[in-house]
Amino acid sequence: MDAPSPARIAAVVVAAGQGLRAGQPVPKQFAPWRGKPVLLHSVEALAAHGVAPIVIAIPEGADAIAGAAVAGIDGVRFVTGGATRQQSVRLGLEALAGDAPALVLVHDAARPRLGGAVIDRLVAALVTRPAAIPVLPVVDSLCHAEEHGATMGAPARREDLRRVQTPQAFRYAAILAAHRDWQGAPDAGDDAQVAQAAGLDVALVEGDEALHKLTFASDFSGALPPVRVGSGYDVHRLEEGGELWLCGVRIAHTHGLAGHSDADVAIHAAVDAMLGAISAGDIGQHFPPSDPQWRGASSDRFLAHAGRLAAEAGYMLGQLDVTIICEAPKIGPHREAMRARLAEILGCDAGRISVKATTTEGLGFAGRREGIAAQAVATMVLA
C-alpha cells in the first residue's frame, strides 16, 4: 500500500460521553479549557493536518452545543453516539462509508493536545501495517493488587507494558470490518482491541505526554492559558561607597544602590515581572522592606522564590528580558556574566535570558547619575 495523501485520511472523534468525573456544568468535551472548548482543540489540530471529513460522535440532543464548539471548522459532521464508546466509534465509522477514505484516525475528544508529529508517525506506520497506536513507556514500578486492592501482590514487569493513547490509526476498510464482525458485548476499551480481535496486526509508535486525557476536576482547575506575560519596573538611589549589584553580579563602581536588601534593581524588576505573569502580587508583598530579616539580603533569593511560585502554578520561564537604565557603569562588559547568573538562579538555559542597557541622554534622575532604573518583561509558558 502506498503512503496515502492527507486528503484521504478521515477521522472519528469520540465526544459522546457525559464526563461526570470532571465536575463541569456541561460534558467535559464541551467545557472550556485553555480558552476554548475541549473538543475544539483536537478538531482544529486534525483539520490543520488536512484530515477530512471529521465525524464527531456526540450525546443525544447535543447538536447545538457541539455545533457551537466547533463552529467555523470545515468538513465536520455529527453523529449521535451509542451507549458505549465502542458503539459510538462504530456509528462514526459507518457514517464515513460513503466517503470510503483510505485511512481513519479514531481520537478521544478528552485528549485536546494533539500534535501533528504523532499523526505523521501513525500514518507512516500504516504503509506496512493495518493498524497503529501511540504508546508511552511505563516508568513507575508496578505490582498486582490483592484483597480488593488492599495488599501488594506479585510485581509486574513494566518493561512489557505500555500506556495506550489516541488517536489510533487504521486502514478504514479493515477497522470497519473489525467492528462489524465483533462478537459479544460492545465494551472494548479501545479500537486497537477491536482490531486485534479481528486478527489485525497493530503497530506501536511513539506517543506524546501532551496527549494526557482530561478526566477529573483537577484537570480543569489547571486549565491555564499556555502563555502569560508580566512586566516589572524598579528604581534605586545611588550612594557613594556602597556595593553595586546588578543581575546578581557585583560590579566595581564608585557608587552602590541603596535599599533594604542588596538593592539589585534589575533582579527586583525581574521578580515583579515573573510574579505579575502568574498574578502573584509584587515583590513588596512577598519580601516587605519593613521585615528586618530581608535587610541586606541577596536578591537572588527573591528571584529563586518567584521561580518556585511559577513552577507551583504550572509555568516555566519562556523568556526574561531585562533593560537597565543608567549612565554608568557600562553594562556591556558584564552582560554575559549577568545572563549566566540569572539563568543559574532560575535553573534555565542562558538562551532564555536577555540583558541590555540604555541611557536617558543625560535627562532625569538616571541622567544625573542619582539612581539606576530597570524594567523587565517575563514570558511564562506552561510547564
249 phi and psi angles, rounded to 5 deg: -115, 130
Give 91 or 382, the one with higher predicted confidence. Answer: 91
Domain ranges of the chain: 6-221, 227-382
Please check whether the two domains, 6-221 and 227-382, share a CATH topology.
no
Identify the weakest region by mean pLDDT among 114-128, 170-184, 232-246, 281-295: 281-295
In the predicted structure, residue 208 carries a pLDDT above the cut 80: yes
Distance (Å, rounded) from C-alpha 373 to C-alpha 356? 12
In the prediction, which pLDDT does 6 show?
44
In the prediction, which pLDDT does 25 show?
54
Pairing of strands 353-358, 371-382: unpaired
Handedness of CA 82, 180, 11, 215 (dihedral sign): positive
In the predicted structure, residue 31 carries a pLDDT above the cut 90: no
Supply the mean pLDDT for the chain.
92
In the predicted structure, residue 2 carries a pLDDT above the cut 70: no
In the predicted structure, residue 152 carries a pLDDT above the cut 50: yes
Q: How far lies 37's CA from each of 108, 166, 213, in Å?
A: 14, 19, 14
Give 139 or 199, the one with higher predicted confidence. Answer: 199
pTM: 0.62
Q: How confident is the model at residue 4 (pLDDT cuts 50, 70, 90)?
A: very low
Pairing of strands 54-58, 227-240: unpaired
Task: Give me the half-sphere count of Cα atoms (radius 13 Å) on the Cβ side of residue 25.
Answer: 2
The 10s digit of each residue's pLDDT in 41-56 is 999 999 999 999 999 9
CATH fold, domain 6-221, is: Spore Coat Polysaccharide Biosynthesis Protein SpsA; Chain A (3.90.550)
In the predicted structure, residue 34 carries a pLDDT above the cut 60: yes
Q: For the chain, give the secondary structure using H, E and C.
A: CCCCCHHHEEEEEECCCCCHHHCCCCCHHHCEECCEEHHHHHHHHHHHCCCCCEEEEECCCCHHHHHHHCCCCCCEEEEECCCCHHHHHHHHHHHCCCCCCCEEEEEECCCCCCCHHHHHHHHHHCCCCCEEEEEEECCCCEEEEECCCCEEEEEECHHHCEEECCCEEEEHHHHHHHHHCCCCCCCCCCHHHHHHHCCCCEEEEECCHHHCCCCCHHHHHCCCCCEEEEEEEEEEEEEECCCEEECCEEECCCEEECCCCCCCHHHHHHHHHHHHHCCCCCHHHHCCCCCHHHCCCCCHHHHHHHHHHHHHCCEEEEEEEEEEECCCCCCHHHHHHHHHHHHHHHCCCHHHEEEEEECCCCCHHHHCCCEEEEEEEEEEEEC
In the prediction, which pLDDT does 24 show?
59
In the predicted structure, residue 170 carries a pLDDT above the cut 90: yes
The 10s digit of each residue's pLDDT in 311-369 is 877 789 999 999 999 999 999 999 999 999 999 999 999 999 999 999 999 999 999 99
Task: Give me the half-sphere count of Cα atoms (radius 13 Å) on the Cβ side of residue 47.
Answer: 17
Q: How confident is the model at residue 3 (pLDDT cuts 50, 70, 90)?
A: very low
Grid coordinates standing for 123? 500514518
In the predicted structure, residue 223 carries a pLDDT above the cut 80: no
In the predicted structure, residue 268 carries a pLDDT above the cut 80: yes
Q: How confident is the model at residue 122 (pLDDT cuts 50, 70, 90)?
A: very high
Q: How confident is the model at residue 217 (pLDDT cuts 50, 70, 90)?
A: confident
Superfamily of domain 227-382 in CATH is 2-C-methyl-D-erythritol 2,4-cyclodiphosphate synthase (3.30.1330.50)
In the prediction, which pLDDT does 106 show?
98
In the predicted structure, residue 194 carries a pLDDT above the cut 60: yes
Q: How confident is the model at residue 7 (pLDDT cuts 50, 70, 90)?
A: very low
Give 32 or 335, the one with higher predicted confidence. Answer: 335
Average pLDDT over residues 20-24: 52
In the prediction, which pLDDT does 20 show?
54
